[in-house]
Amino acid sequence: MFYYIQENVFREMHYDRIIDAVKRLGLDFEIIRIDDSESIHVHLERNDVFCFGSIKLARLAKKKSWYPGSLMNENHDYTIYSEYWNTYLLNADSKIQDIRTPINFNLGNQFIRPTKDSKIFTGKVFNSSDWNSILEKIIQKRNKEKIMIQVATPKNIFQEIRCWIVNKKVITASTYKVGKDVRYTEFTDSDGLDFADKMVQIYQPANAFVLDICKTEQGWKIVEVNCINSAGFYAANLQKLIIALENHYNPI
pLDDT tens per residue across span 57-72:
888 888 888 899 999 9
Could you list the residue range(s) of the whole structural domain that residue 132 is in? 93-152
* pLDDT averages per 10-residue partition of the chain, 252 residues: 87 80 95 79 83 90 88 96 97 96 94 93 95 93 89 97 98 96 95 98 98 97 96 95 95 66
How far CA 237 is from CA of 85, 127, 160, 176, in Å, comes to 26, 36, 17, 14
In a domain, residue 85? The reply is no
Contact by Cβ (8 Å): 78, 150 = yes
pTM over 0.75: yes
- Asked if residue 173 and residue 230 are part of one domain, the reply reads yes
Residue from 87, 76, 60 nearest 116 by CA: 76
Domain of residue 223, CATH code: 3.30.470.20
In this structure, what DSSP letter does residue 87 have? G
Q: Are residues 123 and 134 in the same domain?
A: yes
What is the tens place of the pLDDT at every residue in 196-229? 999 999 999 999 999 999 999 999 999 999 999 9
User: Distance between CA atoms of 188 and 174, rounded to whole angstroms?
Assistant: 8
Of 152, 167, 198, which residue is a domain's last?
A: 152
Domain end (from 61, 82, 106): 61
Q: Considering 152, 167, 194, which residue would you say is the last residue of a domain?
A: 152
How many domains would you assign to the chain? 3
pLDDT of residue 13: 67
Closest alpha carbon to 227 in 55, 78, 111: 55
Tell which residue, 124, 117, 94, has the closest CA to residue 231: 117
Residues 138 and 175 in one domain: no
Claim to verify: residue 119 and residue 160 sit in the same structural domain: no
State how far the alpha carbon of 161 is from the alpha carbons of 31, 134, 180, 252, in Å.
28, 27, 13, 32
Q: Same domain, yes or no, for 121 and 169?
A: no
- Whether residues 169 and 127 share a domain: the answer is no
Which is it for strands 2-6 and 29-32: parallel, antiparallel or unpaired? Answer: parallel
